[in-house]
Amino acid sequence: MSGAREKKRAKKMRNQPVSVTMPAEPGPVPAGGPRPCPPPVSTFAQARAAEMKAMLKAVTQKSSNSLVFQTLPRQMRRRAMSHNIKRLPRRLQEIARKEAEKAVHQKKEQSKTKCRKARRRHVNLVAEFNRRQRKNIWLETHIWHAKRFHMVKKWGYCLGNSPTEKCYRACYRAMTNHCLLQDLSYYCCLELTGKENELLKQLARICSIDTGLTFRVARCLSGRFQGSLNLYRADRYPEDALGPVTFIWKPRDGSENRQLWIWMHPALKQDILKELKEIFQCSEPEEVYIPEPATSAQEEEQMDVVLSLGKKRKKEDKEGEKAVPVKKIIGDGTRDPLQSYSWISQSTGVVISDRTMEILRYRLIGPLSHCVLTETLKAASLQTEMADSESELNNWWVENCKDSEKVSLHQRQTAIFELLEGISSPSEMPPGTILGLTVGDPRVNLPKKKRKAMPDPEKYQDNDKVRQLYLEGVPVECAHSFIWDQDICKNVTENKISEQDLNQMRAQLLVPGSQLDLGPCESKIPILLVQQPGKMAGEDRPGWGSGWDICLPKGWGMAFWIPFIYRGVRVGGLQEAAKHSEYQRTPHTPNDFPDCPAGMQFAKELEATLLEKFKRRPPAKRANYVKLGTLSPFICPWEQLTKNWEGRMNASEEFICPSSPDAEHCVTEGNGFCDPEPEVVEEASPETGEVEETMEITSSEGAIKREGDPGSQDFGERDEALTRGFVVLRSKKLLMQVAAWCYPTSGKDRRIRLISRLGQKEMTEDVFLPILMRYPRALVWVSLSLLRKGNPELHAMICIPTEDDLLHLSKDKLFCGPQEPKHRDIFKHRVQELKEEKKKKKKKKKKMEEEEEKDNVEALESDSPSVLDEETTEEHEDLILGLWPDALPDVTSHCSRTLLGYVTRGDFSLAAGCGEALGFVSLTGLLYMLHGQPADKKGLVLLRTPASLQYRFARLSIEV
């Protein structure tokens, strides 16, 4: 009997009458003796009365959740019985009336559904939108994206992941030939205000000059250029990474205080903000920001407005009229509504302000992004008089236009902005160039039809000013923008002309379709243009993916978004952002930062998602990763990889190539460089009877870790190990050195000349052994390009080819790669045994239940499952057919080819025309491989996807 039937039967028997028959007299009846006397009449009558009382009680009590009219035979039921009690038989009407009264008290008061006209009313729409973004904040372009994109909820926001139309290649063509638009307003901005020396002194503790730029670099400190760097916990470099950020200094304006913007991914914000508050000793909040209307006074005012605007509404909101706010909530998805957004240090006077969602950020990617900018935006006209004495519209702009120096600065900024039409690509500008500007309302000069913004050939002439702009960049004073002033941004946001008013002005034009001239009533918006350099590392496709970022005040998102769309740009989401960084071969945040907390959290969430998807498939349709030799198909065990390579280095006195003759005589105890290779065993398949090659694990750690094994490591320890112990090598000097050693060559002499030309040293033990001693457990970011066919996938394994593999490749240029022998599933029998035990216990339990008497039904229902059965279930859940349970063996020597690292992103590259992958390899393993490879085969590795046995050759390179 199934579990559902058991519950149904127990529920039915719960109200059945128990046996009330009087017990017989004790003692056996003697054979042949006189019959016992019958019981007295009074006793017999009491027993019958008890039985009748139990039967009447059972009849009056319901044994199901069904209503009275549902208990009638089907031929007696009528549809009206559900709401009209008089349609029931008279004997059931009283019971039905009680049920109806009980249902009225239990039923919650539900708001009646509004009609569409009421739902689409502006006040009700805004209230509904505010309710829907309580958990995940919407961007200002959310509704536009929701109609055209697949939306996902990430990092406290609701973001567009990928377009619903088929435009994967079209988006790549836009990035390559025209322009792709992305909304990056979900990126977080932290503003630091204080004395320059105090800021630089403390900020120097969370970054290192060894990795490249710092906050102190002169070209960025002046405010002319945007900088980028990786942050670490204070004085902890190269450990405890926090993640990558970009920063912009406000140009000096004569004040002793400086302003600094730090832009970061929302997944990194809380860790970086916590570290900044610690190093600057900011503890007291300057003020508290509550985006949701929570005060009673505000609610009363809003209720009055709602009542006056919505008199024709027939229905009420679910929480009543008081819960309907009028204005749209523009908040931040990365902070709690009751959390403060500004902190001040009493000792240093430094103020940290959270300006997330206060400054919007759009990104234009492509060689013609400057054409889109110059066509869409027009510099603001000068204004010396107010359009309306009562209005505050453009009052800040009128005051600044009265200053001749600021007027001159605006004219210079306008001249430089117009020069952008004469450049062929944004990559020609100095990397990270910043240009401040004040523009007019972009909604005024919308084209009649959607068309592509194309360059004007007349602008492409030999111009000395354009050539000077290439060489010197934008002057320091032209990088100034009024967007740094929060009061001006607030004024611009609050005095924006609504779309309704703008459309009414268009309707009053004498010539329909002509351009609207607002004159002094036109809004003036301060913006900041930041150049994105695109692909800078490597030799192929220099400048690919370059473009411009535009920062603007909040509230103006759609006013700039639609004009950009009308210039023929493609719009991309999170998927296109990932592809953009993949084709640039740069790490993507937070996927490719395994040493920072956000990257570790992302890896755990991805593992849970892939494991759940794996379990949803039936066992016969799953890939058996144990037989395929894939130890960790859903997460990259970076900690164990670096630990195993460190053990190999400690156990080996010198580097020995795995395919060299000396490998047989090296030390094999522990985790040395020359651990014995897995033995290939031929077995007959129990299903087909054919002979198959399987792998027999003979590594020193063993295949299965038992409970008593001191080297065993359970799942909890594996998760804990992922959060400590290894680092990612980001030292520019060392990366350039290792990159020179990986450079592909065709001859030994040429390699020496190449290294000397790059200013690097030849690969000798005296050079790389100090690197290994300093970074024994380090990972290196690498890019891989397949030599032949193949499509790398997520979590693919990067392995070291043997000497035979390289020899076979040199003889046969079409050789794709070797194959991994199939492994033996050593856990299959344990899984089957547990299944059989579970079936036997289930049958035994069923048999015991059938033998139980009816008077023990209640006791059976109250009994909980046995502890033994729960333990068996838990043990069975730990063992999943096709996956390695408990601790993993040595990941480097588990397969026939030594493991070097893992792929974090891989796909067919439209830019290169072949399969490309990005990932991390162990620094120790990489130097070990390069030391043992011949000069003409440097940098050749093998790639194998988790669900395949086929290895494929790839070229490994490091781009710095």
**pLDDT tens digits for range 102-141:** 776 665 555 567 788 888 888 888 888 888 888 888 999 9
Stated as kind and residue range, the H or E segment containing 860 is: helix 857-862
- Token match 């590594």: residue? 699
**Please, are residues 922 and 779 in contact by the beta-carbon 8 Å criterion?**
yes
* pLDDT at residue 872 greater than cutoff 70: no
**Residue 460 identity (one-letter amino acid):** Y
| Lowest model confidence (mean pLDDT) among 31-35, 384-388, 555-559, 676-680 | 676-680
Pairing of strands 952-957, 778-786: antiparallel
Residues 6+ apart with CB under 8 A from 262: 189, 190, 191, 192, 245, 246, 247, 272
C-alpha separations of 35 from 28, 39, 41, 254, 473 in Å: 11, 12, 18, 123, 123
Mean pLDDT value across residues 696-713: 38
Higher local confidence (pLDDT), 449 or 307:
449
The DSSP code for 392 is -
- How far apart CA 364 and CA 571 sit, in angstroms, is 9
| pLDDT confidence band for 949 (50 / 70 / 90) | very high
| Strands 359-365 vs 351-354: parallel, antiparallel or unpaired | unpaired
Q: Which residue type occupies 101?
A: E
Lowest mean pLDDT among 187-196, 516-525, 948-957: 516-525
Task: Tell me the mean pLDDT in the region 448-467.
Answer: 79
Task: Give the Cα separation of 945 and 793 in Å (integer).
Answer: 6
Cα-based distances in Å from 921 to 603, 948, 958: 17, 20, 11
The residue-averaged pLDDT of 420-434 equals 88
pLDDT at 851: 74
User: Taking a C-beta distance cutoff of 8 angstroms, is the pair 905, 783 a contact?
Assistant: no
Is the distance from CB of 153 to CB of 136 less than 8 angstroms?
yes
Task: Read off the pLDDT of each residue in 27-34 and give the average, rounded to a whole number.
Answer: 56
Alpha-carbon gap, residue 786 to 741, rounded angstroms = 19
Q: How far apart are CA 386 and CA 389, in angstroms?
A: 6
| Residue 173, helix vs strand vs coil | helix
Cβ neighbours of residue 494 closer than 8 Å, sequence gap 6 or more? 392, 555
Which of 850, 838, 837, 851 shows the shortest CA–CA distance to 5?
850
Task: Give the distance, in angstroms, between the CA of residue 914 and the centroid of all CA atoms in the same chain.
Answer: 27
For the ranges 69-83, 352-366, 759-773, the one whose mean pLDDT is highest: 352-366
Q: Over range 861-869, report the average pLDDT.
A: 45
The per-residue pLDDT for range 496-543, each reduced to its tens digit, is 888 888 988 888 888 887 888 888 888 899 999 999 998 988 888 888
SS3 828: helix
Average pLDDT, the chain: 79
Which residue in the block uniquely carries the two structure tokens 């022998």? 821
Question: Residue 921 in contact with residue 780, Cβ under 8 Å?
Answer: yes
Exposed/middle/buried for residue 837 (C-beta within 10 Å: 0-12, 13-18, 19+): middle
Q: Which distant-in-sequence residues (6+ apart) come within 8 Å of 463 by Cβ?
A: 419, 422
Overall average pLDDT of the 628-651 stretch: 90
Residue with tokens 């199934």: 2
pLDDT band at 321 (very low <50, low <70, confident <90, very high): very low
How many whole angstroms separate alpha carbon 288 and alpha carbon 678?
A: 63
- Is residue 648 very low, low, confident or very high in pLDDT (cuts 50, 70, 90)? confident
pLDDT surpasses 90 at 932: no
| 683: confidence class by pLDDT, cuts 50, 70, 90 | very low
More confident residue, 653 or 626: 626
> Cβ–Cβ contacts within 10 Å for residue 214, how many?
19
Instruction: Tell me the HSE value of 72 on the side-chain side, using a 13 A CA sphere.
Output: 18
pLDDT of residue 435: 93
- How far apart are alpha carbons 103 and 469 in whole angstroms? 78
The two counts, helices (H) then strands (E), for the chain are 31, 26
How far apart are alpha carbons 68 and 70 in whole angstroms? 5
Average pLDDT for residues 597-626, to the nearest whole number?
91
What's residue 674's pLDDT?
44
pLDDT value of residue 747? 53
Confidence category of residue 861, pLDDT binned at 50, 70, 90? very low
Looking at residue 175, its pLDDT comes to: 93
- pLDDT value at position 143? 92
663 vs 817: CA distance, rounded Å: 23
pLDDT one-digit tens code per residue, 265-303: 999 999 999 999 999 988 766 554 444 333 333 333 333
* 18 φ/ψ angles, rounded to the nearest 5 degrees: -85, 165
Query: Tokens 């559902």 label which residue?
Result: 4
CA distances from 258 to 199, 221, 356, 715 (A): 9, 10, 19, 49
Q: What percent of the chain has pLDDT over 90?
A: 38
Task: Give the percent of the chain with pLDDT over 70.
Answer: 77
| pLDDT value at residue 769 | 85
Confirm if 232 and 276 have CB atoms less than 8 A apart.
no
Instruction: Please state the pTM of the whole predicted model.
Output: 0.77
Instruction: Supply the pLDDT for residue 469.
Output: 85
